[in-house]
Structure 1
Amino acid sequence: MTTSERTEASTLAGEREMLEGWLDFHRETLALKCAGLDDEQLRRASVPPSGLSLLGLVRHMAEVERNWFRRVLTAEDAPPLYYGKEDPDGEFHMTGEDTWQTAHGAWQAEIARARALAASRSLDDLATGTNSRGEPFNLRWIYVHMIEEYARHNGHADLLRECIDGTTGE
């Protein structure tokens, strides 16, 4: 895995281009960590006793994209994809029926929707929805939070991938 397989954020960009560039870089990093693995490997919880898996991380990030851009930024009624009251961590609880194709498709759809919802807003625009704390957020804060969220989970993904097949990378 090399940085040349991802789009590097510009070192001279303006604020918005920089934030969107780093967010896309981290989105691409997660996809890269999953590249070349089969569904069984992607579902594998590689660091017992944790149930964390690469496929679980992809499903989790689909939920995170959905939450911050649909529910918080625009107050859209978007029910969870994978979790619920009966299983609050459902994105990490998979069966043999769960596939990369389905999870990746859902994740990419959420990314596309996030881009569309953010496109017409300025970084200072306040979200029309709220999170569980009820605090106001602007789009800038959401972008920074999403970069942080991906960066943290990409660290997990790097360790998971190394446990699966020894592949390491940036």
Structure 2
Amino acid sequence: MPIDFPSPTIPAANQAEVFTRYLDYFRESLIEKTAALPAATQRTSGLPSGWTPLELVKHLRHVERRWIEWGFQGRDVADPWADRKDDRWHVEESETLADLATALRDQGTHTTAVITGNALETAGRPGPRWDGADPATLERVCFHLLQEYARHLGHLDIVAELAGAPTGE
């Protein structure tokens, strides 16, 4: 489901709407770009770092989970690093892009509810996510999520370009 780029010239009701528009756009762009790759390319790496596009989709779902649920909300998350195995991103053979995309979109629905349901200056709850530091505000968490997505979508563009698939915004 393509989403138009959230142009800065389009009015938004508030800063929370700006954050959620960009996060929605980045999520859908990630899924679309991954889906445009040949199936074999989705599961293999063309880069020395070794990550695959499907691993990236799973990773970003868990990034949101770690920062929103485990971090800001202070929830007990049984396995916050469920995107890793042997200290690397990992996707099981049985996991499909459809499954990973559904999980990412569901996580996005939760993230949106948290962002729109709290003041951005609200500090997160203390917990293990912060490793003893003071919890970040929701605004800082949102900025962090945006930079994670922007950086990783740039990485995916490189993979797509090498594979001859669509790149860019």
Q: Give 1:32's aligned residue.
A: 32
Asked whether the equivalents of residues 51 and 93 of structure 1 are also in contact (C-alpha less than 8 Å), the reply is no
Name the structure 2 match of 1:107: 104
What is the CA RMSD across the aligned residues, in angstroms?
Answer: 2.1
Identity among equivalent positions (%) equals 29
Other structure's SS at 2:110 match: helix
Q: Which amino acid aligns with 2:32?
A: L
SS state of the match for residue 130, structure 2? coil
Q: TM-score scaled to structure 2, two decimals?
A: 0.83
CA distance in 1, matches of 2:50, 2:33: 17
Matched-pair contact (CA < 8 Å) for 1:125–1:138: yes
Task: Count how many residue pairs are aligned between Structure 1 and Structure 2.
Answer: 161
> Counterpart of 2:141?
142
- Partner of 1:66 in structure 2? 65
Report 1:115-154 matches (<5 A). Answer: 115-129=112-126, 130-132=129-131, 134-154=133-153
TM-score (norm 1): 0.82
Q: Which amino acid aligns with 2:83?
A: Y
Distance 2:162 2:93 in 1: 20
Q: Amino acid of the residue matched to residue 76 of structure 1?
A: R
Query: What CA deviation, in whole Å up to 9, does each residue of 1:22-56 have, x standing for no partner?
Result: 22222222122112335432111022x22121111
**CA distance, structure 1, for counterparts of residue 144 and residue 68 of structure 2:** 11
Contact 2:30 2:57 in 1 (8 A): yes
Contact kept in structure 1, 2:72 and 2:138, CA below 8 Å: yes
Cα contact 1:42–1:53 (8 A) shared by 2: yes
Distance, in Å, in 2 between the alignment partners of 1:101 and 1:55 is 10
Amino acid paired to 1:82:
D
| Worse overlay, 5-14 or 73-82 | 5-14
What's 2:161 paired with?
162
Gaps of 5+ in 1: none
